[in-house]
Amino acid sequence: MRRALVGELHAFVGAWPPRHRASTGWGVPLVGVASARDPLFLELKTVASPSHLCPADLLPDARSVIAFFLPFERSTGLSNISGDMASAEWAEAYVETNELIRAVCGHMKGWLEAAGHVAAVTPPTHDFDEVTLVSAWSHRHVAFVAGLGRFGLNNMLITESGCCGRFGSFVTSLELEPDLRPEAEACLYRHDGSCHRCVTRCVGDALFTDRFDRHACYAQCLQNERVHVALGGADVCGKCLVAVPCAFVDPVARRLQR
Ligand code: B12
Ligand code: SF4
Ligand code: SF4
């Protein structure tokens, strides 16, 4: 069943760009599975926020949580390297990927229901509290539980395909074997202190080695939203995700392979 689910998700994402005339290109989606009863979900109330939901809050009969990562094509990340403001391609990728994540979740919910299961979905973003800037369902924490990667100094979850891309997740009554979580760090700073490039790349005075000012970051994202107003709701930046070793690969795994 897992193979069928992953195959369905891959096929849906693969068919999306031509059908919807998307400007953005995506690499092969990564999919991770967590048990809805994984004790780490309860820990998210301490690690992420006290209001963080558990899978059963979204779906009383929750058995599995599926997280997926849609990596951007390299050209999208490369387009965002120069200058202080986000590139038009990066802003458009944000808008188009949010739309795709919503569609993937809706499609997979229907697919699961047709197979006799139930599912619950949450939006890709813009579901956060405007004052605290924290969401009650953090996709990257959920993806962490589902084994898709490890957190970097830039706050991103770094997957085997790097961190330039976006996450979605949904909860289902279908029981699936959970994935193992990677044991090794994926961030070079956390691995051996050899990198802090994301901090030097930050254009919003928001990211430091010992703290992150989410309000300063949001102010920078809102500046870009004003520049890309025609796209509607493109509160982006992402300078700390590009021209960094973890943009498109897990740099620790890459180094250990050499
Ligand atoms: C609110 C929000 C914002 C706010 C607040 C920033 C923030 N860090 O949360 C603002 C608007 C500023 C923002 C900015 C950005 N965001 Co944003 N945002 C969200 C949103 C809606 C909720 C995040 C949330 O509430 N997290 C819970 C809080 C408490 O945790 P946190 O801030 O993530 O910080 C945790 C980690 O650093 C973690 N951590 C660090 N080390 C370790 C180690 C371990 C073991 C663990 C367990 C945790 C951990 O600890 C912190 C607390 O738990 C999510 C979508 C969603 N619903 O999940 C997208 C999301 C996090 N954003 C994303 C992105 C890409 C961005 C931007 C790059 C903008 C852009 N698209 O150009 C910037 C990056 C800023 C940065 N460097 O962090 C992606 C991240 C993709 C990835 N690879 O991880 C997400 C997941 C959207 C998506 N659907 O993919 N964002
Ligand atoms: S740029 Fe370097 S320090 Fe920052 S998250 Fe990536 S690997 Fe870690
Ligand atoms: S998204 Fe921009 S402002 Fe926010 S931490 Fe990264 S570089 Fe800094």
What is the pLDDT tens value at each position of the chain, 258 positions in all?
Answer: 899 999 999 999 999 988 888 999 999 999 999 999 999 999 999 988 898 999 999 999 999 999 999 999 999 999 999 999 999 999 999 999 999 999 999 999 999 999 999 999 988 677 788 888 888 999 999 999 999 999 999 999 999 999 999 999 999 999 999 999 999 999 999 999 999 999 999 999 999 999 999 999 999 999 999 999 999 889 999 999 999 999 999 999 998 887
Residues, the chain:
258
How much is the CA Rg of the chain, to the nearest whole Å?
A: 18
From the candidate CATH numbers 3.30.70, 1.25.40, 3.40.109, 3.40.50, the one assigned to the domain spanning 2-178: 3.40.109
Q: How close is the Cα of 165 to the center of ligand 3, in Å? A: 15
Interval between CA 206 and ligand 3 midpoint (Å): 6
Give residue 173 CA to ligand 3 midpoint distance, Å.
Answer: 37
- Report domain extents, the chain: 2-178
pTM of the shown model = 0.96
What helix, strand, coil percent values describe the chain, rounded to 5?
Answer: 40, 15, 45
Other C-beta atoms closer than 10 Å to the C-beta of 61 total 15
Ligand 1, CB cutoff 6 Å, lining residues: 47-49, 94, 124-125, 127-128, 133-135, 137-140, 144, 151, 154-157, 163, 166-167, 207, 214, 217-218, 221, 235-238, 240-241
Q: Residue written as tokens 């965002």?
A: 80
